[in-house]
Structure 1
């Protein structure tokens, strides 16, 4: 029987009208639609009466890849109109494309990626011929604004030219062969009734050819690969996600404009466009006068006449608005003159114009729509823990019930479910914070995120494990990212993933070259290894392996590291602090104090090493010797604290050296008899100019002391000088230290010049 194949552009009002009119006129036995064939048993879900836009979301996972894909529909999507109109006329409905998880879609996040984008040469020729900027403007000119009675002929000519004699790529060839099988089967089963197929226009010429002859049995849905898991569900969608200006490459830009075109026609859509843009600009504080709007409409109408449009098209109105509202020269092309996402550097008014045309429409699923198990599991979890309401909550991590609530919230955070924001709490295994503060809000996009997350697992812990494993695979060798994953493993209470993370961490540690990143990894892992009361990870053998490996790697990298190293690097100093803590607390993990002291002694006396690193490793040697060893075997020539301090001041690197020393061993060093007076004498001995130069580094060094300790030092210095007063008040001098130092330098300069002129003290 007769087969009518309608080639369409996805999300096109003109194509949608043609589809509806054709189906109503032919009343076919079958309506075949380019869409995932594995959804054929669930087409009833598409007919429940949703508020558009919606999308079919498919999540696929096997041992090697995870793939997410969306097939979005809005009211003017030809595929959606084919479903609704076909159902109204009593046709049997079939999706005829390969499932979204199929390898043919492996490089796409959206099944409706326009094939003609890969055949830009033909499109460019047409754009040049008709004097338009890009595919979207060309489409509007030829189809949306063209005579409606000529739409079918224009579409056929357009897509025949686009496809030409070119062969499709490998993935499209597989899809076309599969879809052709459905066309042949439908013709064979339709009897004397017609068949209508709605497919992307690029595929139409090939399908008409392939539909002749060959097997006439219904094609089977491809089998999933062994071990693969797939889930497909309807999700609410939004015009923002559908907009080409927001990065969606498979459809039309400015969905709100095309919705108006679908609902009310081109003339009303043009008027609405001006109204909504003016309203948005005024709402954002951009001045838009009545004269501006008159000028914009006049320009748009003139452009429409010049371009051969019966009424202003989308680009006519936008060009008119830009002409009236943007007086400055533009650094980048107007977004509607090029195809793709909105680029940086656009004029603020242009940004607001494109946002106004995007629209704020959000889809809503019918209440009877099936949802993945994760949605129900999370709903139950939230109710059980009292987290199903908006407001701010405080969680005590030492309380077992609160700690479980914290784990639920962190699992939602890891899955990027909106509406759960933590404002306070531990940021790493080093953070002593034992209380978290969370703000819970009822976000409209939460259901979408939960449905899309449902592909990771049926329960929240299972989904989090899969997501964290994915993050590990995405971050090979990225120590900071892997350390963050490991901490999320602990916060979420999904310790089963630890082995996978640690395997990647082991590889990263072995190849790590950044002391700061290695130090952070060591700090986080060591804290998790030590603190069982919060995370349940204390003393585990696997974490101990990472502690030992990271400590050894930091020591190896530091031994022989040369360079000026100024100013002092706090991150590098913190890496040595992490080694200190590993040596003091990680002997059960295999960290050897004697080996650390041996390296520390070499670095401490290496004059080519950066001064902050020399100071840090001198402090490391002293701390470990005082806490673990009775003496310093194997470290010949290590100076006494007083000798080391005098050497740093003599070398002109006092501030940077002290920063390293204080960062690692401030308490141990200051406990040495006479150390504070020695530092006082050495700093007081600076000439005013030298002190001004050294001041920033000295300030950085003393910032390693907490406020209480700085106040104690100030009190002792006042006592040493026989002065009364408060150390706290001394630390709160209204003038900055730089101003005080500059004043001292000025006083000294004045004294020198007075003395040179014979006007010094005692000389008159």
Structure 2
């Protein structure tokens, strides 16, 4: 064991040596407060070393006090994991407390489990946190004050690692806010105050140098506690600091009470692991207990259920939405686990990962990257190589300046792809229990091997399975993913899925548990949450998904909101985007045996509103926005075809005819509307040829002509390959395009024909060759027979024909 300097002995009674941070002789119990940065590798190493040195008889951890019974499962957990607390009466109100291998709290849990030492969480119980959070939000809503976005870890919940008072936890460099805020108070940014006092303008860089990249010792904890005590004293006089923080006072009062309880039980050596900001408040001698007892008396509390759930390194990152994370968990894990040659070993791993992508990364590249990172740290005045030094060296020496490849390294290594696990004996989430029971009833297995499944929606079992899969899709738990069926069917009664239960889906299920305790209830709540701020297209997609998932409880409310939004929608693009899913939902409602009368009304009303807005919306558009409008019109037309003789389709057809005949609209929508009318047999090829001749006349701008052709051919090129008249009109036009206009026309034509499948381009080329031969143009012309088709050159095909006959068994 590495020798660690003896840490501060903090006696229960007043002791002259308690303030010095030096060991003093004392016969009574001792309380050592280890103030840490949550998810800090330096703090984690220091905690592990300190516990080995102190050998406490009980370990007290900042965390929900009602999670104590779950500590027995620690030996079977593989981090990253998280404590999850859900309110029994409102599962959407939940909290996560994530732990990684480099979290100081996790190291304390692991040490206590390995040494058979009792461990206790000492922060406010999760039920009290939930009740206080709900009360505060209700008060803010009554005052019309927006809630603090960083106040909770998840919607409706509070995270003990993201409390209203910073516990000296911030992201690593490189995750700065885009705008520089006004100077924060000491209470809001204790690291900034410490860094400024040390003459540094980068708080994160300072903390990295001083703590996180050092092994740490009990002396470090004494120094941090002393610094925080000074900051807390200064914060009392900071005019920018709000007068008191009730949550902080409650939390620290509860933690002090738990320390007193451990002392009353007769523990001789007590180790307290908490956020550094709280360390001075828990250092003995403690103040009288009576004020703390009065403060905690009568606190509200709701019933909650706690359990362990697996977590991922990506969700430990700040970008995942959980405020207690760090932006580089993969890098922090490396700092924690590697003690020598930290930077070279990191680059060895990066090089191996890049070689796994078949990139040429040699040992020379790795050596150069290591040297560059160290040089950058020196030039920048860093005491040690920081993450920004490492990433700059990675981009320059290993990725050849490729930003996309550097982002891949960040995602795969700096953030990481690690997944934690929990043993089978851990209490399961109610949602997990309900899902597994439903799967058993439907004869489905949650197994890792992929399995293809075709469902017949005309059977009860097939329909029930479909409902389950669509509900899980709404919950972002992709156990089943849609696939293209290999069974030919033109009906809508069949669905094809691929089932695979991967380990990371346990994390997704834990997040989905915030919505409810059953799959049906959680899906209903997820739809309500998604619909709150959804625009019209998103609402109609939700209607379709809700219908497929068979959630009638929320369907009526959704339809009402869709109708209301559609009535006030002034954006025709939104209306067109919304038409497709609402019409599909109307059609599939009958197929699934869930007819919804209001769907027909909403679909017809929305289609009429969209139809009336197309022509005004198209006027004055440029080429790009006109092409986008034409695409949306085509998508809506495909949906309208599903209505089957509905009177509303006549309105749509009249709109298409108006657009196709309009002389002042951009070319894209006019050409697309003409093609849609042709494909629907509403106009003849002769009509199209006449319109095309008129559009391609001299008086029409060349860009409008090119846009018309692009819009018309976007539906496929075979129409001109099989219609000599249309092809002739196009050929004549292209032959007469002025030279100075080719720069405008050729990019459009290249884009148009480049988007076609190779077989279509080949067919158009063959048709053009035949046309050229008939017109007697120069250049290579394909031979034609008497009927105008391609002539067969017998000598040229004799060899391939003989080979084909041999393969088919037809002789030599």
TM over 0.5: yes
* Residues 243, 254 of structure 1: 8 Å contact kept: yes
When residues 529 and 283 of structure 1 are mapped into structure 2, their CA distance, relative to the original with a 3 A threshold, is closer
Equivalent in the alignment of 2:153: 108
CA deviations 1:91-112 (Å, max 9, x no partner) are: 4623313526452774434532
Distance in 1 separating the partners of 2:331 and 2:530:
39
Q: Which residue of 1 aligns with 2:62?
A: 34
Is the CA contact (8 Å cut-off) linking 2:573 and 2:632 kept in structure 1? yes
Alignment partner, residue 755 of structure 1? none
Maintained 8 Å contact 1:7/1:203? yes
Q: 1:223 to 1:294 in 2, by over 3 A?
A: same
**What is the match of residue 673 of structure 2?**
660
2-side partners of 1:414 and 1:131: how far apart? 51
Taking only aligned residues, the RMSD between alpha carbons, in angstroms, comes to 5.1
User: How many Å apart are 1:174 and its aligned residue?
Assistant: 0.8
How far apart, CA to CA, are the structure 2 residues paired with 1:541 and 1:12? 58
> Aligned with 2:222: secondary structure?
helix
CA distance in 1, matches of 2:221, 2:665: 84
Tell me if the contact between 1:372 and 1:454 (Cα under 8 Å) persists in the aligned partners: yes
**1:596-617 CA distances to partner (integer Å, 9 max, x unpaired)?**
87x998xx7xxxxxxx67247x
Out of 412, 425, 429, the residue aligned to residue 472 of structure 2 is 412
Structure 1 residue matching 2:235: 3-state secondary structure: coil
Find 1:53's aligned residue among 59, 62, 80: 80
Contact 2:479 2:499 in 1 (8 A): yes
Task: Spell out the pairing of 1:702-717 with structure 2 (5 A cutoff).
Answer: none
Aligned residue in 2 for 1:524: 581
Q: Report 1:279-358 matches (<5 A).
A: 279-295=352-368, 318=390, 322=394, 325=397, 346=403, 348=405, 352=409, 355-358=412-415
Structure-1 residue corresponding to 2:788: none
Q: Choose the corresponding residue for 2:519, options 445, 460, 474.
A: 460
Which of 468, 489, 498 is the equivalent residue of 1:439?
498
Q: TM-score, normalised by structure 1?
A: 0.70
Structure 1 window deviating more from structure 2 (349-358 vs 509-518): it is 349-358
Q: Is the Cα–Cα contact under 8 Å of residues 11 and 252 in structure 1 kept in the other structure? A: yes
Structure 2: state its 5+ residue gaps: 1-11, 13-29, 137-149, 171-183, 729-758, 779-812
SS for the counterpart of 1:52 is: coil
CA distance change for structure 1 residues 679 and 148 in 2, over 3 Å: closer, same or farther? Answer: closer
Residue matched to 2:277: 202
Which residue does the alignment assign to 1:71? Answer: 97
CA distance in 1, matches of 2:722, 2:388: 74
The question of whether the paired residues in 2 share the 8 Å contact of 1:407 and 1:491 is answered with yes
> What's the secondary structure of 1:406's corresponding residue?
helix
Deviating more after overlay: 481-490 vs 168-177: 168-177
- For 2:356 and 2:665, the matched residues in 1 are separated by 60
- Counterparts of 1:606-621 in structure 2 under 5 Å? 614-615=658-659
Verify: 1:509 aligned to 2:582, yes or no.
no
The answer as to 2:232 corresponding to 1:187 is no
SS in 2 for 1:411: helix
Q: Is the 8 A contact 2:31 2:284 kept in 1?
A: no
Identify the residue that residue 619 of structure 2 maps to in structure 1.
563
The answer as to whether partners of 2:576 and 2:633 remain within 8 angstroms in 1 is yes
1:485 and 2:554 matched? no
User: Are residues 652 and 284 of structure 1, via their aligned partners in 2, closer, same or farther at CA, if it must alter by over 3 Å?
Assistant: closer
Give how far 1:281 is off: 3.4
Q: Which has the higher contact order (CA 8 A, sep 6+)?
A: 2
CA distance 1:313–1:486, change in 2 (3 Å)? same
Tell me, in whole angstroms, the C-alpha distance in 2 between the residues paired with 1:14 and 1:240: 20
Once the two structures are superposed, residues 95-144 of structure 1 have per-residue CA deviations (whole angstroms, 9 ceiling, x without a partner) of: 31352645277443453235445658764565577687844432232224
In the alignment, the residues of structure 2 paired with residue 147 and residue 531 of structure 1 have an alpha-carbon distance, to the nearest angstrom, of 64
Q: TM-score, normalised by structure 2?
A: 0.66
Report SS of the residue matched to 1:93: strand
Q: Which runs of 5+ in 1 are unaligned?
A: 331-344, 605-611, 617-644, 719-727, 748-764
Whether 2:443 is the aligned partner of 1:385: answer yes
For these two proteins, the number of residue pairs brought into alignment is 656
Q: CA deviation at 1:436?
A: 3.1
Secondary structure, counterpart of 1:190 in structure 2: helix
Q: Distance in 2 between matches of 1:182 and 1:324?
A: 49
SS at match of 2:473: helix
Deviations 1:422-480 (A, max 9, x none): 13379xxxx965543322234221222223322323332222222122211241xx111
CA distance in 2, matches of 1:543, 1:391: 34
1:234 equivalent to 2:308? Answer yes
Measure, in 2, the Cα distance between the counterparts of 1:560 and 1:323.
50
Distance change in 2, residues 1:59/1:713 (3 Å)? farther
What do residues 200-231 of structure 1 show as CA deviations (whole Å, max 9, x unaligned)?
11223345599512346595895456xxx855
Q: Is the Cα contact below 8 Å between 1:60 and 1:230 reproduced in 2?
A: yes
Out of 697, 703, 712, the position equivalent to 2:708 is 697
Q: CA separation in 1, counterparts of 2:373 and 2:665?
A: 71
**Matched residue SS, 1:490:** helix
- Deviation per residue, 1:11-43 (Å, 9 max, x gap): 234433544555566666654321123423433
| Post-superposition offset of 1:7 | 1.5
1:479-534 residue CA offsets vs partner (Å, 9 max, x unmatched): 11011111111211222220121122122112111223324434433443355442
SS at match of 1:732: helix
**Is the contact between residue 620 and residue 666 of structure 2 (CA under 8 Å) also seen in structure 1?**
no
Secondary structure of 1:467's aligned partner: helix
Q: How does 1:516-555 map to 2 (within 5 A)?
A: 516-538=573-595, 540-551=596-607, 553-554=609-610
Deviation at 1:572, TM superposition (A): 4.0
Q: Any idea what SS the aligned residue of 2:122 has?
A: strand
- Any idea what SS the aligned residue of 2:496 has? strand
| 1:96 matched to 2:154 | no
1:44 maps to which of 72, 79, 102: 72
Deviates further, 201-210 or 731-740: 731-740
Separation of aligned partners in 1, 2:566 and 2:764 = 46
C-alpha deviation, 1:557, in angstroms: 4.4
